[in-house]
Amino acid sequence: MSRGAIACLPVWVLASAAWAQQVELNVARGPHYPGSPIEIQIVATGFDEEPTPEATAPTPERGRLDYRGVQPSTERSIRIVNGRIHQTNEVRFVYRYRYLAAEPGLSEIGSFTVTQGANSRSTAPLRLQLRALDLSDRLRVRLDLPEERVFVGQRIPVVLEIWFDEVLRENLHDYTLYVPLFDRTESFQFVDSADPESTTDVTIEAAEGERKLRGTARDEVHRGTRYLVVSLTQTLIPLRAGDIEIEPSSLVAEEATRWQRDFFGGRRVSHVRKLRALDRPRVLRVGAIPGEKRPESFAGAVGKGFSLEVSADRSVVKVGDPIRLTFTLRGEGNLETAGLPNLAADGLLDPRDFRVPAGDLPGRFEGNAKRFEAVVRVENERVREIPALEYSFFNAEAQSFETVRSRPIALSVRAADVVGAEDVVSGDSQKVDAVAESEPPLLAERRQGDRGRQSPSSGSLTGADLAIERHLASLARSSASGAGRRAVIAGFYLIPSTMLGLVLLDRRRRSVDPRVLRVRARLSAQGKRIQAAAGLADAEGVREVADALRTMLAEANQVGGAELDAFLGECDARIYAPGEVAPSNPEDWVERAMGFARQIRDRAP
């Protein structure tokens, strides 16, 4: 073989591999009619099994082309020829499309393209001739939309009806119902509003595929002809303002005209006649929610009859304590887009009296209501209630804003304990004494007693003689025995190691953020305060425990969980109860408090 032939061999191999990739266009048999979907398939062969090739299709000038998915398949075969095994894999991808046109005539669709990596193959353009289909009064389709202006976020009931005369009803073979409104998901949101007693399924052609909706059937006589009327209801929620044009809905029915017997004697349809009904085009006028005179307590609720209920998990608190509020919103309107306004807005919680969360609060549906939760804190001990909170909504029928109010909730608020700068603890003894002075008298007395029984000690190395003895005579005298010699050698290594450990420990202690040290010291002081409360048998011990835990939460900048909030609520109930009821088992009470204190301390920096 010549060098030129050898050089051309790789190019020939690549070209043959590219020629093996093919795409084929298949269209369902005609005749084709407007209003009836036309199945189109693109069959791609010769491509690799992975990754799946990407198919692209042009946008037709007339009608709608919907992609319905791809179906890959691989056929593997093994042949033995002259003692050799030949294995082949045939990879096949079938891309499905559905074309639907509203008017008869010639429809042209450009080339379909299948691409995998650097390889790409295209089909020839597609031309379809759609035959005219006369409209028939034996069937009808009607979409009821409001003629007056509606508003963004308003819930609008939409009723769709399809009619079949009694003869067509008996001989109905199939039907195609196309409602362009239901494909306008960029402009509308749809909520199924079917009657729970609906018994009839209605199939609608949609861009994402066939949709089945539940409807109700009834008999009705119109101009002397009896019809079967199937109606279904959907709730439409406009998402944008403007005059939105909606194409007419269409209904194409296939009436069986001939039958024949199959092999088993059954009857099957052999000929059908197509009938078509067309609704008129519609325009839905959607207005925006007015910006003028919009209350601050408006949060997207559109409808009527809204109400707001507010409940709190506690009513006896101290300044700075968290209060979990639950907001329950009900109404005849669009709860999906309804939110909760900023709690610091006008007509809600005064920022001078309450600290409220920032940002939007998520809601959840529970039955026919939408619930929100928020944790707020009382900032002022003069607060006596959670006031009646305003909630505004837009009444689309009256085209005006309306405002409702919740019921107020009574509160009992006490002043919070303040931890001052004198409570800061550092490494020297003077600041430790300052912390001791800020503790309760009972714990201070115990500390003084402990100091009387203990001798002070210092960890300082200042003034210590750490020099290494180098005089040979001294070393000889001190190491008269083997044991003494080994001790000196051990000390020779032990002393530098000890010094290094002390230096590292001191460096680690100094590297800790001073603010962290102060928080840890204050938390430790409050833990000792709780322990000291074990000796107080009356309600004063309960008060000490509750105040210490609240101080720890404030110092650690934490929010208590459900168990801790319940425990503090029990403390407040005993403190404010007539006669100040003390716990029956003070030790158990203090042990529970110490458990919460350890949790706060462990979560602190």
Per DSSP, the residues of 433-467 read: HHHHHHS-HHHHHHHHHHHHHS-------TT---P
In tens, the pLDDT along 302-338 reads: 999 999 999 998 888 888 889 999 999 999 888 888 8
What's the pLDDT score for residue 580? 52
Token pair 């503790």 is found at 439
Residues 6+ apart with CB under 8 A from 128: 27, 32, 38, 99, 101, 106, 107, 108, 109
More confident residue, 7 or 62: 62
How sure is the predictor about 3, in pLDDT bands with cuts at 50, 70 and 90?
very low
Say yes or no to pLDDT of 459 above 80.
Answer: no
Give the pLDDT band (50/70/90) at residue 470.
Answer: very low
Instruction: Tell me the average pLDDT across 55-69.
Output: 88
The fraction of the chain above a pLDDT of 90, given in percent, is 28
Q: Which of 450-454, 565-569, 597-601 has the highest mean pLDDT?
A: 597-601
343 Rama class: left (phi>0) / alpha (psi -120 to 50) / beta: alpha
Please tell me the distance from the alpha carbon of residue 404 to that of residue 388, in angstroms, as a whole number: 9
595 DSSP assignment:
H
Per the structure block, which two tokens stand in for 339? 């939110």
From CA 398, how far away is CA 301, in angstroms rounded?
14
Q: What is the pLDDT of residue 535?
A: 64
75, containing H or E segment: strand 64-81
User: Please, what is the average pLDDT of the chain?
Assistant: 79
**419 and 325 in contact (C-beta within 8 Å)?**
no
- The dihedral built from the CA positions of residue 308, 314, 315 and 318, taken in this order, carries a sign that is negative
In this prediction, residue 43 has a pLDDT band, given cuts at 50, 70 and 90, of: very high
User: How does pLDDT run across 258-271, given as a tens digit for each residue?
Assistant: 888 777 777 788 78
Answer yes or no: is pLDDT of 235 > 60. Answer: yes
Identify the pLDDT of residue 34.
87
pLDDT at 46: 87
Q: Phi and psi for 501 in degrees, rounded to 5?
A: -65, -40
Residue 46 CA from chain centroid, whole number: 43
